[in-house]
Structure 1
Amino acid sequence: MTDVLPPSSGAWPALHTQQLCFPVQALDGTALHIGARLQLPVSERRVPAVVIAHGSNGIDSRGQLHALDLNRAGIATLELDMWGARGLDGGSEGRPGAAWENLPDVFGAFALLAAHPRVDPQRIGVLGFSWGGVVTLLSATRRCRDQYLPAGQQFAAHAAMYPACWIYNTVPGYELRNLTGARVLVLVGGRDRYDDPGDSGHDLITGLGPADRALVQTVVYPGAEHGFNMLEAPYQYRDPILHRGQGGEGRSAPHPESREAARLALLRFFGDALAGQGT
C-alpha cells in the first residue's frame, strides 16, 4: 500500500467526491455525456483544479495516484472517462481516430469546473497520460482554446506524460504552435518506444518557435518506459504510432524511481502554476 501514498507528508484532506456526467458536442455533432469523478478538497476558499485525461487503455491506477497527490495539496481533480460515452473499449483499436476528437471532453471539463462555485476559474490545469497527454498538448494552443472557450478563459497549466512527442508539427492536425502563454510540462521515459529517444529536452518536440519553446519544460527519465507511473504489471501491445510512426510492438511498464520523481515534479509544477489565495 505504500506505493499509492502521496510523496508529501501531512494529513489527508477532507474531500467531497462526486461521480457526474457533463454534456459535450462531439466533432461530428453528436451529443455526448462524459462521465467524470470530481474530488474537491473541503475549503472555505475557492480552490484550484486539474482535469485528468487517461491514456488509450482508459481509466487505470495513474489517475487516482496523481489525483490524490493533488487533492492532498489542496487542488481539486476531475478525472474523465473519455471512452464510456463513446462505447469504446480502449487500446490502439478501441480509441477515436485522432486525439483532437477528445478536445471537446477536456474543454467541456474546463467549463464545468469554471462554473463550479468552489473552484477558482483562473486556476484550472490539465494533466494527461499518453493519448490524454496528446490532447493536453493540443489544448495548449490558441487555435484550440479559441475554438472551445470564450475570450478570457484558458487552462492555466498543461502537464503531459509521454505524449508521443514525435508527432507534433510533423503529422497534419497535430500542430503545436502559437501557444496560449500557459506553462507546459512534458515528462517522458528515456526508453519510450513511441519516440525511440536518444534525443533529450526540447529536441523531442520539433518545430517550436522561440516564444513557444520558452513555455515548454521537458524532463526525460533515463531507463523509464512508456507508462512509467503506472502501478499495474508491465504489458505489451501493438500501435501504429509507435517508433515514430513506423508502428510495431510497444511496452508499458512501471518504473518506481521515475514514478516517484514525476509525482513530485507534478506537485511542484501545478503548485507553482496554480498558486493563489482563492476567494
Structure 2
Amino acid sequence: MIRLIHLWTLLLALSTTAVADETSATPWPWNYRFVAFPVPGLDSPVAGRLSFPATVETAVPAVIIAHGSGGVDARGPLYARRLNEAGIATLEIDMWSARGMNGGLDRPTHVRETFPDARAARDYLASLSDIRGERIGLMGFSWGGVMAMLSAGGTEADPGGFDALVALYPVCWGYNRVPGYELEAIAVDDLLIIAGTQDDYDGRDDCDRLVSSLPEQDRRKVELLVLNEATHAFDQRAPATTFNDPYAHRGKGGDVAIRYNPAATKHALSRVTTFFSENLSGTPGQKQADAH
C-alpha cells in the first residue's frame, strides 16, 4: 500500500505541474502519459511523465530530465515543452518518491546512488518502438546536473547509451576535488554545462577553471555557457528565496539564493533545445564521419 501511495503522490504532483504550466502559457502542445518502470535496488518503481511531439510519424530521439534536490517542479515541463516542439520526446523522472524521500536535505547520500534511475529510464525508453533507442540524452538541474556530469566520465561512469548530456548549475567546484566526483576520461562526445555567475555553490569562475583544467581531448567535448547575473536555479519561476546546504560556498556550507532570471532562462532554453537537436539528430556515427 505504501508503494502505491508514493506512486500516486508522484503522479498527482506531475499532473499538477502540467496543469500549472498549461494555464500559464499556450495550450499543452504535445502528447503525454504517466509511466513507471523498475529500478534495480528499489522496492518501488520510479515514475515519470513521458511526453512526445504533437505529431509522431516515425521514431524520435528522447531526453531524460532529472530534477534537483527539491524534487519535481516546473523546470522539467518548461524544458520538455521546448524539446517536444523541436521533435524530441522527454521523460521527466521522480527519483525521490520511489525512495520515500521529501527532497531538500532529505536526499540520498551520494549522487551515484541515483545512477540506476537514469540507466533504467534509458533502458525503458530504448524498449519503446516510437523512441530511437540509439539517440537518448540526459539533462538535469543541480542534483540532476551532477548526474549528467558524472555520466560523462569518471571512474564509475556509465555513458553508454547517452548521446548528449546537459548539466545545469552542477556545482562545479567539487569535481576532481571531492572523492567520488571525478570528471575525467570523458567518453561522451557532447557535454553542455550551463552555470550562473551568482551561483552560491561556486566561486564566480569555478566552472571556467574546471573546464580549463581538463586535458585537451576532454576539453573539446565540453561546451560551457556562463550566464551573467544568474543564480543557482535561475530558471525556476517562483518568488526569490534562499535555502541552506552544507555543500554551498565551495563546501563551507551556508545559504544559497535563488532568483528567477527571465533573460538567462530564455538563453538556456534556446541553447539546450538547439544542443539536443544538433546532437540527437542523424544516425549513429554520422558526426564522427562528418568530422573526417
Q: TM-score, normalised by structure 1?
A: 0.88
- Aligned equivalents of 1:187 and 1:252: distance in 2? 15
| Partner residue in 1 for 2:190 | 183
CA distance in 2, matches of 1:121, 1:211: 27
Q: Within the alignment, does 1:156 sit opposite 2:163 as a pair?
A: yes
Gaps of 5+ in 2: 1-20, 285-292
Aligned with 1:17 (options 32, 37, 41): 32
Q: Percent identity?
A: 40
Q: Deviations over 1:203-247 (max 9, x none)?
A: 144642221111111111111100011111121111011011111
Name the amino acid aligned to 1:51: I
Distance 1:189-1:221 versus aligned 2 partners, 3 A rule: same
User: Quick one: distance in 2 between partners of 1:236 and 1:76?
Assistant: 33
CA offset digits 1:171-218 (Å, max 9, x no partner) = 0001111111320000001000100214563x1446422211111111
Matches of 2:190 and 2:268, distance apart in 1: 17
Cα shift readout 1:125-183 (whole Å, capped 9, x = no counterpart) = 1110001100111111275455xx8xxx4200000000001111110001111111320
Q: Please give the alpha-carbon distance, in whole angstroms, between the structure 2 residues aligned to 1:157 and 1:69.
A: 17
Partner of 2:268: 262
User: Is residue 2:101 matched to residue 1:88?
Assistant: yes
Q: Residue 224 of structure 2 aligns to a residue in which SS?
A: strand
Q: Aligned-pair distance for 1:20?
A: 1.2
Residue identity opposite 1:82 in structure 2: M
Match of 1:167 among 146, 150, 174: 174
Q: Which of these residues, 222, 226, 229, is aligned with residue 223 of structure 1?
A: 229
From the superposition, tell whether residues 195 and 206 of structure 1 become closer, same or farther in structure 2 (CA, over 3 Å).
farther
Q: What is the distance in 2 between the residues matched to 1:81 and 1:199?
A: 29
* 1:31-180 correspondence to structure 2 within 5 Å: 31-41=43-53, 42-91=55-104, 93-141=105-153, 143-146=155-158, 153-180=160-187
Q: Secondary structure at the match of 2:138?
A: strand
Aligned amino acid, residue 112 of structure 2: W
> Any conservation in 1 of the 2:22–2:28 contact (CA below 8 Å)?
no
Q: Distance in 1 between matches of 2:178 and 2:224?
A: 20
Q: Find the aligned partners of 1:268 and 1:4 in 2 and give their Cα distance.
A: 24
Q: Distance in 2 between matches of 1:142 and 1:98?
A: 15
Distance in 2 (alpha carbons) for counterparts of 1:221 and 1:97: 29
Q: Distance in 2 between matches of 1:204 and 1:5?
A: 37
Higher share in helix: 2
Distance 2:22 2:270 in 1: 15
* Residues 135 and 161, structure 2, Cα contact 8 Å, conserved in 1: no
TM, length-normalised to structure 2: 0.84
Q: Between Structure 1 and Structure 2, how many residues are aligned?
A: 263
Distance in 2 between residues matched to 1:139 and 1:200, nearest whole Å: 17
Q: Using a 3 Å threshold, how does the CA distance of structure 1 residues 5 and 209 change in structure 2: closer, same or farther?
A: farther
- Aligned counterpart, 1:242: 248
What secondary structure, in the 3-state scheme, does the structure 2 residue paired with 1:156 have? strand
Equivalent AA in structure 2 for residue 49 of structure 1? A
Letter in 2 for 1:138: L
Q: Is the 8 A contact 2:64 2:137 kept in 1?
A: yes
Opposite residue 193 of structure 1, the aligned amino acid is D
> Secondary structure of 2:166's partner?
strand
Q: How does 1:196-215 map to 2 (within 5 A)?
A: 196-199=203-206, 201=208, 203-205=209-211, 207-215=213-221
Asked if structure 1 preserves the Cα contact closer than 8 Å seen for 2:65 and 2:138, the reply is yes
Q: Report the Cα distance in structure 2 between the residues aligned to 1:262 and 1:65, rounded to whole angstroms.
A: 11
In structure 2, C-alpha distance between the alignment counterparts of 1:68 and 1:252, rounded to whole Å? 23
Q: Deviations over 1:231-274 (max 9, x none)?
A: 11121111011011111111112111100010101011011011
